Structure 1
Amino acid sequence: MLTTNSTPTGSGPVGNTIEEAQSWLGNFLRPETISSMTETAIGWGLKAVGALIVFAIGVWIAGRLRNAVTSAVERAPNLDVTLARFFGSIVYWLVFAFVVIAVLSMFGIQTTGLAAVIGAAGLAIGLALQGTLSHVASGVMLLAFRPFKYGDFVEAGGVSGTVKGINLFTTELATPDNKKVIVPNGDIYSTSITNYSAYDTRRVDIVMGISYDDDIDKAMATLRGEIAKDDRVLADPEPFLAVKELGDSSVNIVCRMWVAKDNFWPVTFDLTKAFKQALDRDDITIPFPTRTIYTHEVAKST
């Protein structure tokens, strides 16, 4: 006799799974569940929209403040454009950081701990980059106080050259033989700075030596005549000539003339040549270094 076993509908693993799915779907479609989910979605949606609005307005305000600070600094007569952009960027990122914290707080995220983490990270980065930050601070001081500007010939940080660029980290100099030298701003600001282009005029000092046998007044008249021929020498202050010292081999006459700063080296080179030619023409000797040796004979004893 053949017997057939049948499983009732709704029982067994498959049936249980279907029943669980139907039960979960029934609970999910309950009016109170749908209402709660709808309220949650609307709440998060409103927060997201509000956060986007706050973020957009905050970024707009940050940009406006950056432009305002940049324009204000650029209008200052003694401040550089690079410094204006630097201050503008600082203001922008500070406002941007506050906006991000405000947006995160709108979603219920605790920003106190985040601010502490950011502060600790900033401290660690500052300690790691303290050398670099010192150059930045020096760059800010150089751009703010302007001890030199583009095109000036300076001696700074142990290097002499023409200033070709100033930024927050380094200063670019071109040496007289046109070599490019990058000097860290910290090295420049921590040492003395000599700016040869700061003033409109400079003094040319040339020392000429004549023989002890020559007429000093005649030599000085010859030198003064050559100075008078050069139109680049300023009349005020007037040229100054005097006996500087009685050297080992010569009487040294100093000639001091004031010229425009751009004429310093041309006048120095041209008058040095003119002085030599004029003294030769007037038979005034420019002596070589000499040394007199005295000898004594020792009498032989008998």
Structure 2
Amino acid sequence: MTTDQEVAALTIPEQIWLWLRLNMVEIAGAFAVLVIGLLIAGLLSRWAQKALNRSPRLDPTVSNFLANLIKYALWALVLVTVLAQFGVETTSILAALGGMALAIGLALQGTLSNVASGVMILVQKPFKVGEAITVDGITAVVQNIGLFTTELKQFDGLFVMVPNSELWNQPIVNFNRHPTRRFELIVGIAYDDSMDQARKELLALAEADQRVLPDPAPQAFVASLDDSSVGIGLRVWCATGDYLGLSWDLTEAAKARFDAVGISIPFPQREITTKTA
């Protein structure tokens, strides 16, 4: 048995060699726990990633994030177990790790909020890459969805990067989620023109266009009585991919058809009556 005085009389290399000899069993056990623990953590992480990738609701980015989270948590558990082999008080270590996690969480509150929002976006999927959306006054096509930010491309070609927390906390309009859309056209005609004829002409245009779906059937109606005109409305349903082209073509065709049959589209007018005393 070596006394404290004898240990103190040794040089530092000799003290290290003595400590290694006295704790050889603990060192071997800790090394074994470290190696086996890291191997198990890697296996469980890969197994979790494969299991998560089988779910159609989870994006690959979310699967990777959750798999890495499991791996790092297992690493921390292995580290605490190894330190316990040498008699280190694990309670204080866990308390220190908890305090450190709290400090990091407070310092990175905005970043963690973006990560949480990114995970929710990838899980709930209010939009996907390639879909056109409107959010907070921005209309653009989704280019990439990350854990921190989402990249958008406006229709004029401009690049927009939005933090995920701002996207998740705003109402999102998705133009491509449903396979069909309704298009509504309102054309003003003169009060002297026939409303019934105008409705029939618009319905004839809709029926002649193959992009207009028969169900729900096209509708033509009197939409408004304005100061200088009567608004005649047309509602049709079409495939989402045909919406833009159909809206342009029906608007142009309505003007040409009304001109051809003598239905006028009046300019704004105002009648002024002057009374003399």
Give the TM-score taking structure 2 as reference length. 0.90
1:88 aligns with 2:75: no
1:12-31 to 2 correspondences below 5 Å: none
Question: Residue 89 of structure 1 aligns to which amino acid in structure 2?
Answer: N
Cα displacement (A) at 1:288: 0.4
Other structure's SS at 2:31 match: helix
| Structure 1, gaps ≥5 residues long | 1-23, 29-33
| Alpha-carbon distance in 2 for matches of 1:80, 1:157 | 24
| Alpha-carbon distance in 2 for matches of 1:145, 1:286 | 47
Other structure's SS at 1:212 match: coil
Matching residue of 1:47 = 26
Other structure's SS at 1:294 match: coil
1:263 maps to which of 215, 236, 242? 242
Give the TM-score taking structure 1 as reference length. 0.83
Q: Deviations over 1:141-189 (max 9, x none)?
A: 1111111111111122442211111121111111111211111111111
1:203 maps to which of 178, 182, 196? 182
| Alpha-carbon distance in 2 for matches of 1:220, 1:158 | 35
1:182 maps to which of 146, 161, 165? 161
Shift >4 Å, 4+ stretches: 37-40
Question: Residue 189 of structure 2 aligns to which amino acid in structure 1?
Answer: I
Q: Deviations over 1:49-78 (max 9, x none)?
A: 322221111111111111122122221121
1:103-142 to 2 correspondences below 5 Å: 103-142=82-121
| Alpha-carbon distance in 1 for matches of 2:52, 2:81 | 29
1:1-302 to 2 correspondences below 5 Å: 41-298=20-277
Other structure's SS at 1:284 match: coil
CA contact (8 A) 1:157 1:183 kept: no
| Structure 2, gaps ≥5 residues long | 1-5
Cα displacement (A) at 1:38: 8.6
Coordinate RMSD, CA, aligned = 2.2
